[in-house]
Amino acid sequence: MTTQLDIAKIRADFPILHQTIHGKPLIYLDNAATSQKPKPVIEALTQYYQEFNANIHRGIHHLAEKATTAYEQTREAVRAFLNAPSVEQIIFTRGVTEAMNLIAQTYGRQNIQKGDEIIISTLEHHSNIVPWQILCEEKGATLKVIPINEKGELIIEEYQKLLSPRTKIVSVLHVSNALGTINPIEQIIDLAHQAGAVTVIDGAQAASHLEIDVQALNCDFYAFSGHKVYAPTGIGALYGKKHLLESMPPYHGGGEMIKEVTFEKTTYNELPYKFEAGTPNIADTIALKSALDYVRTIGKNTIAQHEDNLLAYATQTLQSIKGLRIVGQAEKKISVVSFILDGIHHQDVGILLDNEGIAVRTGHHCTQPLMKHLGLLGTIRASFAMYNTTQEIERLAEGIEKAIRMLR
């Protein structure tokens, strides 16, 4: 049985929501871009800088030891969040973009040869396209793309046809940021492994909505960004299977990622520090634990049920607006509604909604190849989080109706 959210209590935890924009109460519906931050996350940042700001791992004084303990407690929180086997398999990154580049430039450079193939999908964010393009250009490999159907779902039969003995990496997102589609990654991973390929999963949009168990998925790599799950920007994590991480060369060189340095030779540190050169993003990493604790306390399933209800209500409400077309109607979706209005540019709608205090995202959502496939310049995207309400969806619908009247 799913517990019902106390929305008023949750909203009280998010200070930014209690303001007016252009004289109207803020309605924040751009959560797929970045989520807002609850008080415990903000307080964690403040506490670090006010009470124990120090560099980590290398110091023996009290502040350094306190900062190191808090920093490493976040690594354990991420391990539990992903159900990874060990903390040494959790690499801190700036987010999914850096994680994808790390994999491409270490595992990819080491293992991809001329004639090899890498598979991605039509739904991918640029962060899961460009690093592989760079690698393919460098190595003479081929990038192949899984097509989608009219609902915005991957066509698994076509994916199976793309797999071959030359397939070395399959890298797909867990959930589409542009359409909200939840991909069948268990099946995708299993088929890739049958072909002998390594799997990479972009979990940016899944982290706040879906339960993630990397051991049950049996993925080789999984990455997520903290700022999508109520944590600060500039911090994320990459999970990798231990034998793969151990075999990969370092991504950055410098302090912390070394055991011993001479002018003749450097020996590298153990996992996970081999991939964490230099002074890290300490404060935001510590605050990531506060965000994950906040989500865990409320309950991922409880949050998901609330967001699913918002998705159903928004879909029904917006579909009733004449001239509005929802783009992406997969059977399994998270709380994202992407839509267009007949004869009206998406950016104009975004500006007019902002005048009503409503924050949505407009444009290609860093998925230009997907938009080209759909024959669109972009869409208007409303994405919902645990603190959103049905009343806000009604305000969104009213704002769209007003925009239609003004622009036609």
Q: What is the per-residue DSSP string for 216-281?
A: HHT-SEEEEEGGGGTSPTT-EEEEE-HHHHHHSPPSS-SSSSEEEE-SS-EEEPPTTGGG--SS--
Q: Residue 331: helix, strand or coil by DSSP?
A: coil
Cα torsion 130, 135, 141, 146: sign: negative
Let me know if 63 is exposed, middle or buried by CB neighbors in 10 A (0-12, 13-18, 19+): middle
- H helices of 83-178, in order, are 96-103, 109-111, 130-139, 156-162
Give the domain 7-30+299-407 fold.
Aspartate Aminotransferase, domain 1 (3.90.1150)
Q: Residue 404: helix, strand or coil by DSSP?
A: helix
Q: Residue 380: helix, strand or coil by DSSP?
A: strand
Residue type at position 277: A
For every one of its 408 residues, what pLDDT tens digit does the chain have, with 9 covering 90 and above?
457 899 999 999 999 999 999 999 999 999 999 999 999 999 999 999 999 999 999 778 999 999 999 999 999 999 999 999 999 999 999 999 999 999 999 999 999 999 999 999 999 999 999 999 999 999 999 999 999 999 999 999 999 999 999 999 999 999 999 999 999 999 999 999 999 999 999 999 999 999 999 999 999 999 999 999 999 999 999 999 999 999 999 888 877 776 776 787 777 778 898 998 889 999 999 999 999 999 999 999 999 999 999 999 999 999 999 999 999 999 999 999 999 999 999 999 999 999 999 999 999 999 999 999 999 999 999 999 999 999 999 999 999 999 999 987
DSSP 296: H
Give the residue numbers annotated as catalytic, written as ranges.
366
Give the domain 43-296 fold.
Aspartate Aminotransferase; domain 2 (3.40.640)
Rounded to whole angstroms, how far apart are CA atoms 5 and 102? 38
Q: Domain spans of the chain?
A: 7-30+299-407, 43-296
